[in-house]
Structure 1
């Protein structure tokens, strides 16, 4: 029993999640694009930092190379001038700078590789983000069309504005004339009180009428003349 209930609850949750995702699909797309855009900006900042470090290392390498060339030239001049002690000091400094230069060149090579890989990733992510934004525009347009279509199809359920208007028009046209209804009500009341029978007898010449008629008024006018 508990297993069955767990299965039903899991299914209900899955259906609710699907319905929620469908209802807010445009909002979810926008949020995911926003997150992807944030990731792309972070990657660009990382790439900029690597390029900045690469340029700094390149400047250091160029400076070391220039200093080594300068000291090598000076050491040669010292040897020619009989100053082997100065040449030895220069040679030691050159050796230290060459070791540092080797390390910096290795660092520069690693930076070149990382920059190339990250640049390719950034370019791919940028193209993908552009495609996603275009897809989001198409999705919004499709959603608007779907909303319009759903609005037009509501007449199947009897709740469309057009059908409601048609029903109201039909209702108004089918309404009875209030004056005619009043006359009919008076006829019904007369029949219920039997007053119409007396009027019928009066019209036949048996007894006075219970109400005045146009003929009575005309007869009175003729009598005055």
Structure 2
């Protein structure tokens, strides 16, 4: 008996909740659209920040490349004068900067990929938002028209229209969440193979990922004495 009463109470509570949602479907939809617009605006700001960070990374990369060129020229001059110790110091700095340069290039590639995905998501979301805004305006106009003709208005159908609009909005928000989760997962997994490759390279499996000071010295010697 208690179980039946509990089921009945939950059923009535559900009916009351649905009835309340049906009666307030249009303002509910309008608020959901406003929330979606704010989310899209936040996403735009996030993309703008990411683009600014990527531009900073490009500037840093250019600075590193310029320092490498300057150090290589000076190291060549030191080798030409027979100053092996000073040339080695320069070579060590060059090797360190080349590693930083390579990491900067990887970071730029990741930034570019992520930004492109976010831009695509935002464009799709903006199209959906515009369609919802048109639907919301039409729903409001329909509701006002039905109020003018109470005798011929079918309140049940109007409620179904509003509920369908709300359901469509919910599906769009769920789709956005799935797309965002997929983009984040892709960004996370994209770095994992790099770690494995680095471990293999450090273990002597395959070509090394980073230039050593000895490699830089050998390259500079070949540049000075090509015949040797």
Does the alignment reach a TM-score above 0.5? yes
Partner of 1:189: none
Distance 1:126 1:135 in 2: 14
Structure 2 unpaired stretches of 5+: 154-228
Distance 1:83 1:5 in 2: 95
**Two-structure CA RMSD over aligned residues (Å):** 2.0
List, as ranges, runs of 4+ consecutive aligned residues in structure 1 with deviation greater than 4 Å.
none
Partner of 1:50: 50
* Pairs within 5 Å for 1:28-39: 28-39=28-39
Secondary structure of 1:150's counterpart equals: coil
Partner of 2:192: none
Task: Calculate the TM-score normalised by the size of structure 2.
Answer: 0.62
Q: Indicate the structure whose relative CO is greater, using CA pairs within 8 Å and at least 6 residues apart.
A: 2
Task: Calculate the TM-score normalised by the size of structure 1.
Answer: 0.62
Structure 1 residues 67-76 or 79-88, which shifts more?
79-88
Note the C-alpha offset of 1:87. Answer: 2.1
* Pairs within 5 Å for 1:25-174: 25-150=25-150
Distance 1:117 1:26 in 2: 33
Distance 2:145 2:9 in 1: 34
| Equivalent pairs, count | 154
